[in-house]
Structure 1
C-alpha cells in the first residue's frame, strides 16, 4: 500500500482537480492528465490503479447526465463490447510496466489527428461504414487502453467523426470511458497487477475530480458549439504533445 506523505496527497488532489476540470470542459482527459502527472511520481501501474475509482465515478456522472443514453447504447454496443475485450487482453502490456513506446505512438496519433482536423476539415464516417468500423475501433481502443491506461485513441476521434451533437458526443465519451475503466480494472486484476490496497487512496481522489468536473461543466455550458469543437481539438493536440514529450524527456534524463 502507498504510504502517502503530504506532498503526494497534495499532488494527487491537485492532479485530479485539474484532470476533472479538463474532463468537464471537453468530456475527456482525466486518465491522460492523471497518468501524465502521477507517472512522474509513482509507477504507471500504480497510477492506473489510482485513477480507477475517480475515473469510474466521473465517467458514470458524465454518462447519466446526458439525454440520449438508450439511443447511444443501442448504436454503439458493438464498439463497447470490442473495447472491453481488447482492454482486458491488452492490460498485460501495462502490467508488464513498459508503456513508453505505446504512449509515444498514442501521442503522435493524437497530434496528427487534431492538427489535421483543425487545419483541414472535419472527418466524417460514412453511415454504411459504421457497422463494421465500430468493432474495429473498439478493439483497437481496448488494446491501447490496456497498454497505456489512456482511453482516447482511436475512440475519441471516431466518436467525433460520427457527427454527434455536442451533448451526445460528451455522453458517448462517458459511455466509452465507463466501459474502458471497468475493463481496465478487470484486466489489471486478471494479470495480477491491480493493487487493491491502493483503492483507499483512489477513493480520496473522487472529491477533487468531481469538483473539477463540476467547474468544467459550467464552463462547457457557456460555450457555443463551434468554440467547443475548436477547444476540444486543441485539448486533443495538447494531450498528444504531452505524451510525445514525456518519453523523450525520460530518455534525455537518462
Structure 2
C-alpha cells in the first residue's frame, strides 16, 4: 500500500484527505453519515474496493471516540438501555444477510430510501412522530428488526436508528453516544468481515490507518459545533443529513 500511496498524485491524496475530514466533521456534528460520505466521495476518485478499505478503520475509531466520550460506564448504560434494539438488530442482520441473493439491491435501496426521505421531510415540515415510553418494547422490536434486516441486505443500518432517536426526542449528547455504541458494534462486524474477505489486509490497512487522521481532525471540529448547538438545531441538522442519506440510497437504487 505504501507503493500505492507513492504512486497516487498529490492532488488525489489531498482530495481524499478533504473528503475524509468533511465526513468526520459531519459525524462529529450529528453522529452519523461518515461511511456514506466517504464511500461516495472516495469512490469517485479511487477504485471502489480501496474506498471501502479506507473507511473501515476511521469508522471504527470515530465510533469508539463518540461512544466512550463520557466514559465506559455511560457507554455500558447505553447497551443496557437499548439491549433489545441491539439484539433485534444483530439477529435480523445475521439472518437477512443470507437472503441477499434473493432481493435485487436497487429495489431494496429504493424501498429503504424513499420512506426515509419522506419521514425526514414531514418531520422538518412540522409533523412530529412521537413514540411513547409505554410502547418502547414494541418500538424497539420494530425499529431494531428493520435496522437489522436492511443492514443484512444492504450494509446500511443507520437511518432506522436515527429515525427512532428522532421519534423519541432523545437528548443530543446521548444521541451521539447511542449512535457511537450501535454503529461501533456494526463497525467491528464490518472490520471482521473484510479481514476475512480480503478487502482489509496488509496492503490496505496502512491506507485505512492514514485516513483516521483527517477523519479525527474533522470529528474534533464537528464535535465542538455539536456541543454549542441547541437541541432543536441539532434535531433539524439530523433530519437534513437523514434526507441526504435517504436520497443517496434512492440514487443508488435508480442507478443500479
- TM-score for the superposition, normalised by structure 2: 0.83
Q: Deviations over 1:151-193 (max 9, x none)?
A: 3121111122222211111111111110111122334456x36
Per-residue CA deviations over 1:41-92 (Å, capped at 9, x if unaligned) read 4555553332211001000111111473233221111222333344445556
SS in 1 for 2:158: coil
| In the alignment, structure 1 residue 10 sits paired with structure 2 residue 14 | yes
1:198 pairs with 2:204: yes
Is the Cα contact below 8 Å between 1:118 and 1:230 reproduced in 2?
Answer: yes
Aligned residue in 2 for 1:121: 127
For residues 65 and 135 of structure 1, the distance between their equivalents in structure 2, rounded to whole angstroms, comes to: 28
Q: CA deviation at 1:147?
A: 3.8
Unpaired segments ≥5 residues, structure 1: none
Residues 159, 242 of structure 2: 8 Å contact kept: no
Q: Secondary structure of 1:153's match?
A: helix
CA contact (8 A) 2:116 2:243 kept: yes
Deviates more, 1:117-126 or 1:166-175: 117-126
Shift of 1:111: 0.9
* 2:54 corresponds to: 50
Task: Give the alignment's Cα RMSD to 1 decimal.
Answer: 2.9
- What's the CA shift for 1:238? 2.1
| Equivalent position SS for 2:159 | coil
Unaligned runs of 5+ residues in structure 2 are none
Distance 2:95 2:191 in 1: 12
Is the 8 Å Cα contact of residues 21 and 215 (structure 1) preserved in structure 2?
Answer: yes
- Which residue among 176, 179, 188 is the counterpart of 2:182? 176
Alpha-carbon offset, residue 115 of structure 1:
0.5
* Alpha-carbon separation, structure 2, partners of 1:175 and 1:142: 15
- Most deviating of 70-79 and 192-201: 192-201
Paired with 1:91 and 1:43, the residues of 2 have a C-alpha distance of 24
Alignment coverage as a number of residue pairs: 248
Structure with bigger gyration radius: 2
- What aligned pairs does 1:131-150 form with structure 2 within 5 A after superposition? 131-150=137-156
Counterpart of 1:161 in structure 2 is: 167
**Residue of structure 2 aligned with 1:217, choices 213, 223, 241:** 223
Offset at residue 29 of structure 1 (A): 1.1
C-alpha displacement at 1:233, in angstroms? 0.9
